[in-house]
Amino acid sequence: MATLDKASVRSEVSRLKADFENLCAEGKITGESQANMSSLFMVVELILAIFLERTTKKDTTNSSKPSSQTEKDESALNHAGSNGKGKPENKAAALTSLTVESVAVSKVATCDICGEDLTGVPCVHSERPTKIDIVFEKVVEHVDAEIKQCPICDATVKGRFPADLHGPLQYGDGLKAFVINLLVCQMVALNRVQKLVTAMLEVVIAEATLLKFVLRLHLVLASWETQAIEHLLKAPALPMDETSLRVDRKNQWIHVYSAGDITLKLLHRKRGKEAIESINLIPRYGGIIIHDCWSSYFAYQHCGHGLCGSHLLRELTFIVDVHDYRWAKQMKRLLQQTCITVSKSTDKKLTETERVNLQKRYRAILTRGQKELPALPPKPSGKRGKLAKSDAHNLWERFKVHETAILLFAKEPHVAFTNNRAEQDLRMAKVKQKVSGCFRAEEYAHAYCRISSYLQTMANRGYNPLIAIQLALAGNALTVGGE
């Protein structure tokens, strides 16, 4: 072989196998040698499949590897149709600032050419340039409580302070909302927030005080989180996912549950069943959970299961890149076509006849794929553990075992084809970790999850985060089920 690539290696193995079969047909190979060589070719094909998979690079198009761990894709910089504007904002719910608008008139008194007096000449039309600026206004409110001496009983009576003035110096909810927005939403470092506030107010606020703002909102939102859990339990379908988060130099896990406009993120030290039982949301849920085939979820059979189509498509792409299997191409095409058909249908699902045809095509592809995959050698007697399998074998078996979960999106209109909603809700947590490195204390990590859940839910409704935070601090957190 002059070069070592996928095509040359496979063609060479196929040529040797064909020559061996010809020799067997001519009776030049003994029966014992035929058995040994057949077993050898079986092992070689399996090793070749695993070797080619291990040497093929994985990226965001053919695996679940995040874009931050792959090489920069220049082709995606100017993607057509991508404006990056995000969800439209609810303008009526986002009026959080005082706008002072003025109009000045620049009058024309004389002609610039001949000097004629134009004071009495009517205006034909006007031009208006506009300047927009920001002026930060520090509002300082003082309350003087009167102290009087009662002439009858000689008691000293003092006027009462407002309920939001608990001590000699208090900070208003507007300032607290601004700080929390910078720390949680904008993910600005604590020290930089302190310097910005000092520059704006000419008052140095300790970092510990800024963190107390966060903890106070965390406590205020406890009842909101309880409401969110109760509403999620009533949702017909529940996308979920999990991602790691560094807390005190140790790995913990953020578990996200999303439905409708509600996003709920909860932190736990574990990822699997122990965390699921501790959170106690899935054990009480009776709808359909949408996930990426994490084995811990399948332990709960009282729930329906829907698998993320995006993950499957990426893994099929990898199998096509490595092996060029026809079954992988056909399965990928089938899922994509079905997704388009479902999205264009009025009921967001296939008809009964279409589902029957889909199931027949699905199973026919798997049947052909089983013949296309190299056979697995028998497990040696007395050996423990599982046999080594290629990614193609494992993916084929997943399609075989989880047929109902994979095709559920075509049957139930409330089941999405992908789990992108939950994955998108987790994305900013990775940005937060990249900016901060990790949380030094676990209580602040829990606070981040609860506050970001609330703000993300409000953002899904188009609310300005500053308004949402101020309402929560005032004890009027927007209810989960409505306005």
| Cα 43 versus chain centre, distance | 41
Q: Is the full-model pTM beyond 0.75?
A: yes
Residue 58: the pLDDT is: 67
169 band by pLDDT with thresholds 50, 70 and 90: confident
What pLDDT digit, counting tens, does each position of 11-34 carry? 776 777 777 777 777 777 777 776
Residue 2: the pLDDT is: 45
**Tokens representing residue 346 in the block:** 């009025």
What pLDDT digit, counting tens, does each position of 289-323 carry? 999 998 899 999 999 999 999 999 999 999 998 88
Residue 218: the pLDDT is: 96
Cα 319 to Cα 327: distance, rounded to the nearest angstrom: 10
What pLDDT digit, counting tens, does each position of 173-217 carry? 889 999 999 999 888 889 999 999 999 888 899 999 999 999 999
Q: Is the C-alpha dihedral spanning 60, 63, 66, 69 positive or negative? A: negative
Q: If you count DSSP H runs as helices and E runs as strands, how many of each does the chain have, helices first?
A: 15, 7
What pLDDT digit, counting tens, does each position of 421-471 carry? 999 999 888 888 888 777 889 999 999 999 999 999 999 888 888 889 988
User: Whose structure tokens read 């193609």?
Assistant: 392
Cα 452 to Cα 457: distance, rounded to the nearest angstrom: 8
Cα 65 to Cα 59: distance, rounded to the nearest angstrom: 6
Of the candidates 375, 322, 371, 327, the one whose C-alpha atom is nearest the C-alpha of residue 7 is 322
pLDDT at 79 > cutoff 60:
no
Residue 323: the pLDDT is: 85
Of the candidates 290, 256, 329, the one whose C-alpha atom is nearest the C-alpha of residue 418 is 290
Task: Judge whether 453 and 264 are in contact, CB under 8 Å.
Answer: yes
Residue 70: the pLDDT is: 52
Region 118-131 average pLDDT: 86
